[in-house]
Amino acid sequence: MNLTRRPRRLRTTAAMRALTAETALRPEQLIQVFFVRDGISEPQPISSMPGQYQHTLESLIPAVRQAAEAGIKCIDLFGVPLDDDKDEIGSAAWDENGILNRSIAACRAEFGDEIVIMADTCLDEFTSHGHCGVLVDDGYDTMIVDNDATVELYCKMAVSQARAGAHTVSPSGMMDGQIAAMRAALDTAGFQNVSIMAYSAKYASAFFGPFRDAVESSFTGNRKTYQQDPANRRESLLEVQADIDEGADMVMVKPAGSYLDIVREVAEFSPVPVAAYQVSGEYAMIEAAAANSWIDRRAVALEALRSIHRAGADMILTYYATEAARWLRED
Ligand code: PBG
């Protein structure tokens, strides 16, 4: 054949392929997610997320050490309180002796500024009903989460996390105006340098299923009155723009794998770094298929992460972070 273009020329050798690779994922771009549970003496495996644990305060520290040694620069902490500490408004969330704030403080004491210590800033783990905020009867068919009352509580939580030593807070509740309010609360409390990673475009996704096991959630129902409809695209652009206008230092799209179009569009206009969250269901599906030997675990996990990066994510929150960082170094 007489072809002008033979794209395969650039695929002939490993060196040629490395030379012409368009993107390269770095360990520094991966954020390791951790769960810490109150009242347990040994780390508990999470059955729907093989290889992931509910940590104790004591087991968390060596796990974070391993992440740091693998080249991870940021961790994201979720707290799982005692059932007895859950209440209607989630007050254990801003208690300085609450499990999440103690975890933040323990990590900051151990690691200082060696890694970025980020915490989830949302009430769902701490409320008895499992919703991301306080419920109100507004005359609709179902109780809905009261936006403004919830934002006030997020502000208390963010300030308590900053006080505990968090470098970054990460509001994941999808309340309107949460970023502006949190920024003002942090500044008033003297935490001008604590940054905000906004869960800007977060969908009401069934891919969060295994996470609910991980945090022993008391939740039943859905979050459709505050998280986005998976059918929507334009709405994400509005949400991201609002968070940028309100002062978000970083914005996020969540989940990642089934929302790569959104990641790409956000990456195209965002003036701040863009994160994407490869969520529990994405992890669980890879693990389940790999456990059956239906797919190559390492290859698929890396391909999924590279795809999210290629779509435009500067950072990826993932349960694979530590392991993937090691793989990337080996490759
Ligand atoms: C809520 C929150 C959720 C996740 C992270 N933060 C669950 C939800 O919104 O229902 C899901 C993470 C995952 O599935 O890995 N604070």
Lowest mean pLDDT among 38-42, 88-92, 216-220, 225-229: 216-220
The residue whose CA has the least distance to atom 11 of ligand 1 is: 208
**Contact status, residue 38 vs residue 82, Cβ threshold 8 Å:** yes
User: Measuring CA to CA, which residue among 165, 204, 182 is closest to residue 75?
Assistant: 165
Better pLDDT: 331 or 24: 24
* 104 — pLDDT class (breaks 50, 70, 90): very high
Q: Taking the domains of the chain in order of start, what are their residue ranges?
A: 25-330
The residue whose CA has the least distance to atom 14 of ligand 1 is: 208
Per-residue pLDDT averaged across 183-212, rounded? 97
Cα 184–Cα 188–Cα 192 angle in degrees, nearest 5: 75
Detail the residues annotated as belonging to a binding site for 5-aminolevulinate: 212, 223, 280, 319
pTM for the complete prediction?
0.97
Per-residue pLDDT averaged across 295-323, rounded? 98
**pLDDT more than 70, % of the chain:** 100
User: pLDDT value at position 218?
Assistant: 75
Question: Ligand 1 center to residue 208 CA distance, Å?
Answer: 6
Which residues have CB under 8 Å from 122's CB, separation 6+?
132, 154, 157, 171, 172, 173
- Active-site annotation holds for 224: no
User: Measuring CA to CA, which residue among 231, 176, 183, 178 is closest to residue 203?
Assistant: 231
Going 122 to 198 to 302 to 64, the CA torsion angle's sign is: negative
CA 22 remoteness from chain centre: 26
Q: Is the pLDDT of residue 137 over 90?
A: no
Q: Determine whether domain 25-330 maps to CATH 3.20.20.70.
A: yes
- Active-site annotation holds for 202: yes
